[in-house]
Amino acid sequence: MAGKAFPPLPERLPVDVFDSHCHLDLVEVPVSEQLASAKAVGITRVVTIGVDLPTSRLGTELAEEFDAVYAAVAMHPNDTTGITDAVLDDIADLAALPKVRAVGETGLDYYRDWAPKADQHRSFRGHIDIAKRTGKALVIHDREAHDDVLRVLAEEGAPDRVVFHCFSGDAGMARVCADRGYVMSFAGNVTFKNAQPLRDALEVAPLDQILVETDAPFLAPVPNRGKPNASYLIPHTLRLMAEVKQVDLADLCTAIAATGERTFGPW
């Protein structure tokens, strides 16, 4: 990742882990180079996330080309204005592919209300249905919409495997997710100075319901906040998470690897 304003490689992890949520196509480095840097620090797999039909298709192509890549397909809530059944049918077709391991990112975004709430809800319910029909995990984007996301999941009946990507709830919400068997995926913002409520949520999240992600190219963790992000920077996030959970880094990595395989596997 040299010469691209990217930070240096962090120390290698003691146990291999994976990146549960990244956008390989948005990182301005060839995918092969992103994967090589990630592997060098112990990130041996990544789930690349679709946000519309073209990026969902691209994700499935990358998953075909690279062993280490798995795909998730969906229409991002910000891109659901006027969503039709035909689009949902296309997502369902992609979701059925063997290296597509999740339907997402879908959900509700009340922070960036680019799409009308009615369309976001229709899309979210449609994606929940696709996840259940195809037996894939559901990857949720929840931005300032906690109550409605939890309510819609309960109304529709959640799929067996649900992941809250870039978990942004507080300790109370983490307890609700824990009780319902949902998995909470923490991103680089858990390392930010002002993110104590997120660290409080991480503290109460059960060790076997936690994942880690970059959401690359966004949300680079401290000490590289504000720089471009990529999967190889996950060790910074994991080291902070191990401190918060008061567990050995190796134990945290082992737990996350197992939860990852349970959620997106078998690899």
Binding residues for Zn ion, rule: CB under 5 A, are 49, 105, 141, 215
Which residue, 25 or 215, has its beta carbon nearer to Zn ion?
A: 215
Q: Closest approach of Cβ 6 to Zn ion, in Å?
A: 19
Q: Closest approach of Cβ 163 to Zn ion, in Å?
A: 11
Q: Closest approach of Cβ 221 to Zn ion, in Å?
A: 15
Question: Rounded to whole angstroms, how far apart are CA atoms 31 and 106?
Answer: 24
Question: Rounded to whole angstroms, how far apart are CA atoms 234 and 38?
Answer: 9
Q: Are 202 and 244 in contact (CB under 8 A)?
A: yes
Q: Closest approach of Cβ 142 to Zn ion, in Å?
A: 8
Q: Closest approach of Cβ 194 to Zn ion, in Å?
A: 19
- Give per-residue burial for 207-237: e unless 16+ CB within 10 Å, then b: eebbbbbbbbbbbbbbebeeebbbbbbbbbb
Backbone φ and ψ for 252, nearest 5 degrees, come out as -65, -45
21, two tokens: 């949520």
Please count the CA atoms within 13 angstroms of the CA of 115 that sit on its side-chain side: 20
Q: Closest approach of Cβ 177 to Zn ion, in Å?
A: 16
CB proximity list for 246: less than 8 A, separation 6 or greater: none
Which residue, 115 or 249, has its beta carbon nearer to Zn ion?
A: 115
Which residue, 101 or 141, has its beta carbon nearer to Zn ion?
A: 141
> Measuring CA to CA, how many Å separate 5 from each of 34, 68, 148, 238, 241?
14, 24, 39, 22, 26
Which residue, 29 or 249, has its beta carbon nearer to Zn ion?
A: 29
Residue nearest Zn ion, Cβ-based: 141
Question: Rounded to whole angstroms, how far apart are CA atoms 138 and 106?
Answer: 8
Q: Closest approach of Cβ 107 to Zn ion, in Å?
A: 8
Which residue, 79 or 105, has its beta carbon nearer to Zn ion?
A: 105
Which residue, 141 or 245, has its beta carbon nearer to Zn ion?
A: 141
In which element (H, E) is residue 48 found? strand 43-49
207, two tokens: 């060790």
Which residue, 19 or 122, has its beta carbon nearer to Zn ion?
A: 19
